[in-house]
Amino acid sequence: MADSTKTLKRSSTERGGSQDTKRPRTDDNGVDAMAAKANPYLAHLNQEDSDGPASHSFKSPLDRMERHNTTADQALKAEDSDTNPWTGRPHSQQYYRILKTRRDLPVSKQRQEFLDMYHSAQILVFVGETGSGKTTQIPQYVLYDELPHLTGKLIACTQPRRVAAMSVAQRVADELDVTLGEEVGYSIRFENRTGPKTLLKYMTDGQLLREAMHDHDMSRYGCIILDEAHERTLATDILMALLKQIAERRKDLKIIVMSATLDAQKFQTYFNNAPLLAVPGRTHPVEIFYTPEPERDYVEAAVRTVLQIHASEPEGDILLFLTGEEEIEDACRRISLEVDEMIRESDAGPMAVYPLYGTLPPHQQQRIFDKAPEPFRKGGRPGRKCIVATNIAETSLTIDGIVYVVDPGFSKQKIYNPRTRVESLLVSPISKASAQQRAGRAGRTRPGKCFRLYTESAFKKELIEQTYPEILRSNLANTVLELKKLGVEDLVHFDLMDPPAPETMMRALEELNYLACLDDDGELTTLGSLASEFPLDPALAVMLISSPEFYCSNEMLSITSLLSVPQIWVRPNNARKRADEMKQQFAHPDGDHLTLLNAYHAFKAAEQRGEDLKKWCHEHFLSYRHLSSADNVRAQLKRIMETHGIELVSTPFQNKEYYVNIRRALLAGFFMQVAMRESANSKVYKTVKDDQLVMIHPSTVLTAAYDWVVYNEFVLTTKQYVRTVTNIRPEWLLEIAPHYYDLDTFEKGEIKSALTRITEKVRRRQAMKGGK
C-alpha cells in the first residue's frame, strides 16, 4: 500500500515536471499550434503526446483552478471542455450525452452551495434522498475541487454493499469518460480494481476500515465520503468514530457524511455540530393505506394486494417488499400463476414479475430495470411490472416507474444475543423510518400509493422509530480485533454514535481471549495481530493460521474459502430430490465441511479435465458463481498466507489420517461451537457452555447420529438449528483447546460429566501404555 502511494506521488510530480517543460514549446510554435489543437481534423496529431502518462501538455482547464478555492462555474467549464482534464484525451459523444442528464439531477443545482460549505468546514453532513444523484455526483464535485493529481491524496467514497461500490464506480467512470480501474476504481473485499493513476476510489466501508489498520491516519486520502450513512452498518459506525478522532489530528482531511434520510441531526450533533446541506429529492405525494385488521399471513396478503392493484388500479409498476429469497421466489411464482388466470378470465393486462435479492446473480438483478411489458393489443389494458424485493430496494436502489408499494412491515434483521452467543437472521418488524422510506419509493415518477399490510394502530404502537444500528445487533469479535489493530486502547470510552451493550463487548473480548488473539489484559497478541490480517472472522482466521500444525493448510484454506461465500448447493424447488441425490455423491460420512471440500475438489478436477464448468455445475446442482468466487477468495487468502509465511502443506490423499487431520484442524478455530447429543436416542444436541438445545439442520449429510459435533453456524428460525456440521471426538477438545475445556471452570451438567469420563479414559489408556 505504501508503495502505491509512493508511485502515485512520483507520477504526479513527473506530470508536473513535464507540464513545465512542454508549455514553453507550444508558446514557441505560436498561433499555428494553438489552431492545430482546436482543429478537429488535426486531432490525430495531438494523439501522440496525449497518450503517455505524462499527458498534461494541453492547457488543462484545471490549471486555472486553485485547490479548495474553486467555483462551480470553473468546474462546469472544465466539464464542458473538449478534452478530458483527467486523461488528456478528447471527450467521447457518450460523455456529452451523460453530462446532459447529470446536469438535470437535483444536486446539480446546489453545486456552488455545496462547494462553499465544503470549503468552510472540515466535516460536512449531506442529506439527499435516493435519486438525488449524491452518490455519483458529490464525489465528482469533490474531485474538481480537491484536484488530487496535484497532491497525490485520493478521494474515497464508501458504500455499505459490494455491488453498489462496483456498479457506482463503473457509472462514474463512464460519466468522467475514463477507464474503470484507472482514474476511477473500486476496492472491495477480495477484489481491488485501482491503479497508480487512481484519483477517486469507491470502496466498501469494511475495506476502508481494513486499510486504516495499516494507515492509522488514512494519510492516503484527502477527502473521505461516507455514503449511505443512514444505513448505520457496523463498518460505517466504526469509521465515523475513527474519522472523528483522525479529524482532530489531520486538519487537512475533509469528511463528508451522506445520508438519505432526514434524521441527519443525529449525525450533525455527533460531529460537533457540523454544517448540514440538504438537497430535496424529486418526490410526489404518496397516499397511504392500512388494513383494517391484522393479517394472518402477510405473504398471502401481499400477493392478494398485488393482484388487486393489477385488477383495479391505473397504469404503474408495483414494488413489493418481502424478507428473503425463499419467500420472494414463492411470492413471484404465486403472483405469476394468478396473473395468468386473470388474463384468461378477465382480460387483464400482462405483468412481468421480477425477484430482487442480494444473492441473485447480477444479470438477473439487472432485469428489474427492463421496461414494463406492452399491452397485448393496441388499446388493451396496460402491462406492468412487479418487483418483489428485499429491503435493498428501500434506499440504495433507484427504480423509476414505481407507483404502487406494498409493504407487509417486515425485513430480515440480524440480531446477536451475547448471553447465548447466537447471531441469527430473524424476520422482524421494520421501523417507522423504514416504513416511510418504503412508501417514498412510490412517489418517484408521479403521485403514488402505498399499501401497508397492517393497521394504523400497529404502525403507531408496534414499530420502533428507527432501525437499530448494526453495531447493536452483531457479534463484535471481529470488530474488537480490528479496533485493537487500529490502536484503540480504551474500548469503553471509544466515541461511537451508538455504543454496544457492555455484555456484547465482554463476549467479544472473551471469545478473542479464548482464541488467544487477546491476552488476559485485553492486549493484542502476535496471533491476534496476524489474524487481523485476514479479512475473515477471527475463528476462521485462527483456524487457518494453525492449520499447518495439523498438516492440512491447503485443505483448510479451501474450506475457509467455501465457508466465506454463500451456499454452493443449489436446490431448485422443482428438482429438490435430484439435487439431494447429487449432493449425496459428494457426501462424506463424517460431515458437511468435508462434503464441501469434496465438492470443491470435484469442481477443480472438472476444471482440469477442461469441462464446461457452467454446465458441469448445473448438472451437479452446484452454484458456479459461488464456487468460482470461492476459488477467487482462495487465491486471495493464499497470497496473504504466503506473505506471512504460513506454510501450505497437505498429507497424501491416501493417508489414513487425511480427514482426521482436517476434522481436528476445524476445532482449532471452532472449539467454541461444539454440541453434544443430549441422550442416546435423541436428535437434540446441547451446545457446550451456552446450553442451547439445537437440532442438526436438515440440509446435513450426516446420517449417523454422532455424539459430538462441531458446527459452523447457528440458525434460529421457529426452531434452533446448527448448520454445516462435522463429527468430532471429544478427546480432541481436551487436547486442542484445554483452556476452554478446563473442567474446573465448567458448570455442572451432562457435558461436564461426559468430559470428565473422557478425561479418565484418556488417562487410563495412557497409564496402560506407560505400563507396557
Partner 1 sequence: MTSRRDANDEDDGYDDIPLHHQRPFGTGLHKKPIAFVSASSLSTVTQPPSSAASSQPAGASVADLYLSMVLPDDAAAAASAPRSASAPPSTAPAADPTSTTIPSEPTPSAATATTTSVPSQPCPVCSLPLPPSHDPAALAAHNTSLAHQLCLPYSPPPSALDRTRMGLTYLSAHGWDPDARRGLGAEEQGIQFPLKPRVREERLGLGAPAPARRPGEKGKDGEEASKKGRLLDAKKVRKMAAEDRKRREELREELFGDGKLEKYLGVGRAAQSAPPPGPRAAERRRGLGT
Residues interacting with partner 1, by CB under 8 A?
291, 294-301, 408-410, 415-419, 422, 424, 426-429, 453-455, 457-458, 461-463, 468, 472-473, 490-496, 498-510, 513, 520-522, 716-719
Q: In 10 A of CB 491, how many CB atoms?
A: 18
Q: How far is the CB of 233 from partner 1 (least distance, A)?
A: 16
Q: How far is the CB of 681 from partner 1 (least distance, A)?
A: 14
> Between 273 and 585, whose beta carbon lies closer to partner 1?
273
Cβ atoms of 190 and 122 closer than 8 Å: no
* Closest listed residue to residue 568, CA positions, set 620, 612, 622, 529: 622
523 three-state secondary structure: coil
> Between 299 and 372, whose beta carbon lies closer to partner 1?
299
> Between 225 and 722, whose beta carbon lies closer to partner 1?
722
Find where cell 498534461 sits: 56
How far CA 108 is from CA of 128, 281, 504, in Å, comes to: 12, 12, 44
> Between 138 and 303, whose beta carbon lies closer to partner 1?
303
How far CA 672 is from CA of 174, 452, 668, in Å, comes to: 48, 43, 9
Q: How far is the CB of 458 from partner 1 (least distance, A)?
A: 3
Q: How far is the CB of 498 from partner 1 (least distance, A)?
A: 7
Cβ atoms of 143 and 275 closer than 8 Å: no
Find where cell 480504551 sits: 490
> Between 282 and 414, whose beta carbon lies closer to partner 1?
414
Task: Please give the single-letter amino acid code of residue 366.
Answer: Q
Cβ atoms of 159 and 227 closer than 8 Å: yes
Q: How far is the CB of 357 from partner 1 (least distance, A)?
A: 17
> Between 12 and 233, whose beta carbon lies closer to partner 1?
233
| Strand ranges inside 390-535, DSSP E | 402-407, 410-417, 422-429, 448-452
> Between 241 and 641, whose beta carbon lies closer to partner 1?
241
**Residue 433: all three cell numbers together:** 423510518
Bridge-based pairing of strands 693-696 and 685-687 is antiparallel
> Between 38 and 506, whose beta carbon lies closer to partner 1?
506
Helix, strand and coil content of the chain, in percent to the nearest 5, comes to: 50, 15, 35
> Between 126 and 321, whose beta carbon lies closer to partner 1?
321
For the chain, what is the radius of gyration of the CA atoms?
Answer: 29
Q: How far is the CB of 704 from partner 1 (least distance, A)?
A: 22
| Strand ranges inside 232-325, DSSP E | 254-259, 276-279, 286-289, 317-321
> Between 272 and 584, whose beta carbon lies closer to partner 1?
272
> Between 496 and 582, whose beta carbon lies closer to partner 1?
496
- Taking every pair of Cα atoms in the chain, the longest distance, rounded to a whole number of angstroms, is 103
- According to DSSP, residue 518 is labeled B
Taken in order 576, 578, 579, 581, the sign of the CA dihedral is: positive
* 505, containing H or E segment: helix 502-514
> Between 31 and 492, whose beta carbon lies closer to partner 1?
492
How far CA 126 is from CA of 169, 267, 609, in Å, comes to: 20, 10, 54
* Closest listed residue to residue 302, CA positions, set 408, 450, 429, 441: 408
Q: How far is the CB of 209 from partner 1 (least distance, A)?
A: 19
* Closest listed residue to residue 597, CA positions, set 534, 663, 502: 663
Q: How far is the CB of 236 from partner 1 (least distance, A)?
A: 17
Q: How far is the CB of 237 from partner 1 (least distance, A)?
A: 12
* Closest listed residue to residue 384, CA positions, set 331, 319, 447: 319
Q: How far is the CB of 740 from partner 1 (least distance, A)?
A: 12
